[in-house]
């Protein structure tokens, strides 16, 4: 058996990867032909690959490495906890110090009466918890026919069967089907779908589709509504400011539980601890993961309001839980991560330093001939690529063709900026400094220029009809 290490040549690593590692959300045959990029190490906002490239990570991994790479305090906290108590469960009337300390810390940070945490190991698991939890809530309240959860098309809530059903990604539904009792309404994506309406009117109209859906199903059958404050995987779709207050008003009117999926927007991403604060709403349940541990350990959870915890807690045993609910090592890492965030004022850094500095430059990208709109909330940003800004037109080519080409240019320029369809998105580590933002903008602009030249040369700057 060969020893595999960071010194193994790239081609050999790629060969073994293709032979044995089946990647998530990946066209295996295509990747096997091309070979995966091998990331070896990280420091701050920088990654190094097996070819020695120094790459600026504009996505914080998968929207999660909020404190940046290479923070030694986190592995030190993990090692201390592993030596003390590497594992114990939180079933059967037992608990342990990391789970106690982390749940208390989360309750302190979460707004309003969100004071109770049910732990999971990922965002998908946490949303599966939420499905069972809201249905159980209505059973205990003796309205068991309230089972339907309303979500949005192009929302993302994970890829387990439950999370994937809540999400509105048709490609995911197509692979294995959906659970029953989930309905979708349209997304608040003004730039592509707003037509002649102004943004605020459009935001209200899309929120009111929730009321129409409730009335169609019957309010007595609806358990909850779930949405991401800002859709992340759907393309960093920032809703008009009218949207969330109206969604909350409708949920309250019909007594429906409001779940804010804060897996991306939680823990500082939007310039507040939670995206719900940025949009002025008070959910009954929040889904958390990713930034909770800055991705250093897998952990997620559901934060419940006093009322939800009291109702579900009064119904006898809640038949749900995971081996790794509140895993002590992951909890210790998350706790240390939150200490760093607080002690170093990282949320304030986002709000008062990094966001204003990036906003000044990111929003100006609309001056580029390829960019139709630019959005940035905290450190979550997107630009829409278009062949015709005035018409907010889509490209005639299949959706994603242009975005993929732009992402390839970014990769070539050592910048990780993702594409979702023909939107480009960023979500850098929250600790990014102004001089690093300069590099991000310079590389993004160069990539846009090269992409534009390539589209021109290949005759692809053509708008879709209609």
- Per CB under 6 A, residues contacting ligand PXG are 62, 122-124, 127, 156-158, 163, 228, 232-233, 261, 263-264, 287, 289, 300
Antiparallel, parallel or unpaired: β 182-185 and 114-120: unpaired
- Closest distance of CB 425 from ligand PXG, Å: 8
CB closer to ligand PXG, 210 vs 292: 292
Task: Please state the closest distance from residue 122 (CB atom) to ligand PXG, in A.
Answer: 3
Residue (156 or 322) nearer to ligand PXG, CB: 156
With CA atoms as reference, report the closest residue to 320 among 80, 49, 78, 135.
135
What minimum distance in Å lies between the beta carbon of 63 and ligand PXG? 6
Distance CA 458, CA 450 (A): 12
Neighbours of 434 (CB within 10 A): 12
Which two structure tokens, joined as six digits, stand for 376?
Answer: 């940035």
Distance CA(24)–CA(356), nearest Å, equals 35
| CB nearer to ligand PXG: pick between 378 and 387 | 378
Report whether 283 contacts 260 (CB < 8 A): yes
What contacts 65, CB < 8 A, 6 or more positions away?
A: 42, 57, 294, 295, 296, 429
Residue with tokens 């459009």: 202
Instruction: Give whichever of 260 and 311 is closer to ligand PXG, judged by the CB atom.
Output: 260
Q: Give the separation between CA 164 and CA 321, rounded to whole angstroms.
A: 19
Nearer to ligand PXG, 122 or 386 (CB): 122
C-alpha span between 302 and 287 (Å, rounded): 5
Q: Which residues pair with 377 in a beta bridge?
A: 380
Instruction: Tokens for 393, please give them.
Output: 């037109």
**Min dist. Cβ of residue 232 to ligand PXG (A):** 5
CB of 154 to ligand PXG, least distance (A): 12
Cβ at position 239, least distance to ligand PXG in Å: 14
Give the CA count within 13 Å in the CB-facing half-sphere of 11. Answer: 0
Q: Which is nearer to ligand PXG, 123 or 387 (CB)?
A: 123
261/373 with CB nearer ligand PXG: 261
Confirm if 347 and 272 have CB atoms less than 8 A apart: yes
Q: Which is nearer to ligand PXG, 123 or 378 (CB)?
A: 123
Asked if residues 307 and 113 have their Cβ atoms less than 8 Å apart, the reply is yes
Partner residues linked to 416 by β-bridges: 57
**CB closest to ligand PXG, residue no:** 123
Specify the 3-state DSSP secondary structure of 216.
helix
Least Å from the CB of residue 278 to ligand PXG: 15
Residue 68 CB, nearest distance to ligand PXG (Å)? 19
């Amino acid at each position: 058996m060969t020893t595999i290490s960071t010194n193994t040549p790239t081609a050999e690593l790629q060969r073994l990867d293709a032979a044995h590692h089946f990647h998530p959300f990946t066209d295996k045959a295509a990747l096997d032909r091309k070979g995966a990029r091998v990331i070896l190490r990280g420091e701050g906002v920088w990654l190094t690959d097996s070819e020695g490239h120094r790459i600026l990570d504009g996505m914080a991994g998968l929207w999660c490495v909020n404190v940046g790479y290479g923070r030694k305090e986190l592995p030190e906290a993990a090692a201390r906890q592993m030596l003390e108590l590497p594992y114990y469960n939180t079933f059967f009337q037992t608990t342990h110090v990391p789970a106690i300390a982390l749940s208390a810390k989360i309750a302190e940070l979460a707004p309003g009466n969100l004071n109770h945490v049910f732990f999971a190991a990922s965002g998908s698991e946490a949303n599966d918890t939420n499905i069972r939890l809201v249905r159980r809530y209505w059973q205990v309240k003796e309205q068991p026919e309230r089972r339907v959860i309303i979500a949005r098309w192009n929302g993302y809530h994970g890829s387990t069967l439950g999370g994937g059903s809540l999400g509105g990604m048709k490609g995911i539904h197509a692979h294995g089907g959906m659970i029953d009792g989930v309905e979708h309404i349209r997304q608040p994506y003004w730039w592509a779908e707003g037509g002649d309406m102004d943004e605020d009117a459009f935001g209200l109209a899309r929120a009111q589709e929730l009321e129409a859906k409730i009335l169609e199903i019957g309010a007595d059958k609806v358990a909850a509504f779930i949405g991401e404050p800002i859709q992340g995987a759907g393309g960093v779709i920032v809703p008009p400011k009218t949207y969330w207050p109206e969604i909350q008003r409708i949920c309250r009117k019909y007594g429906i539980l409001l779940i804010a999926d804060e897996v991306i927007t939680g823990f500082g991403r939007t310039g507040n601890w939670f995206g719900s604060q940025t949009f002025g709403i008070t959910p009954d349940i929040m889904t958390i993961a990713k930034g909770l541990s800055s991705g250093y350990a897998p952990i997620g959870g559901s934060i419940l309001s006093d009322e939800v915890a009291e109702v579900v807690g009064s119904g006898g045993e809640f038949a749900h839980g995971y081996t790794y609910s509140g895993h002590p090592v992951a909890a210790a890492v998350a706790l240390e991560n939150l200490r760093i965030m607080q002690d170093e004022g990282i949320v304030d850094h986002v709000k008062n330093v990094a966001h204003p500095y990036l906003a000044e430059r990111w929003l100006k990208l609309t001056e580029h001939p390829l960019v139709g709109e630019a959005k940035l909330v905290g450190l979550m940003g997107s630009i829409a690529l278009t062949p015709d800004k005035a018409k907010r037109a889509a490209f005639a080519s299949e959706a994603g063709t242009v975005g993929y080409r732009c992402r390839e240019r970014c990769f070539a320029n050592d910048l990780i900026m993702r594409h979702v369809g023909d939107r480009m998105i960023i979500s850098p580590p929250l600790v990014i400094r102004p001089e690093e933002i300069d590099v991000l903008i310079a590389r993004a602009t160069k990539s846009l220029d090269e992409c534009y030249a390539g589209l021109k040369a290949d005759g692809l700057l053509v708008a879709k009809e209609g």
